[in-house]
Structure 1
Amino acid sequence: MCTVHPLPAQPPGRHEYGGRMVLSADADRLRARFDNWVRDVTGVLREHIETFWMWPASRDDIAAELAQHGFTPGPDAGDPAVLTVRRE
């Protein structure tokens, strides 16, 4: 199963930049593909595709790994998707 996240087009100047991110699961990892484009009034001028592999980790796993390097949990950032840490 794939999840597609359109990236909002940005119009700085005469060109428009945009794309999408496609996430899919493959066994114990995630595949993230970024499709980017540049276009003008005549159509698409350039396209670029990059693929990255990601390994999901729990919040506790990440905090434990950071603790090995001197980081401790910081105050709650107000967003459960954000892990705030500080180094003593």
Structure 2
Amino acid sequence: MASGSTPRPRPCPPRSPARRPLPTTPNKWPCLHGSWDRTPTSLGTHRNTVRRRLTRIAALLDADLDAPDIGMELWFTLRSPDRDPPPA
């Protein structure tokens, strides 16, 4: 590398299954009854990561995921055999 030139950024590593938030987190969270302690353990991630993901999902859905009827609707929708499979 010539002096004074800027180093090239490293390529991003491939995303691991734990870093695919939208397909995994909304499936686990309702199945564990909205548990903020058991969900991160089940996903192998930090609880703040789960909170951030669910905040993002709630914003995308424009819904309050803490409301029991919304949580139940989400759970039934995710378990529906008619829905498309989550992206890999």
Q: Given the two structures, how large is their TM-score scaled by the length of structure 1?
A: 0.23
Larger helix share, 1 or 2: 2
Q: Given the two structures, how large is their TM-score scaled by the length of structure 2?
A: 0.23
Tell which has more relative contact order, 1 or 2 (C-alpha 8 A, sep 6+): 2
Rg comparison, structure with higher value: 1
Larger strand share, 1 or 2: 1
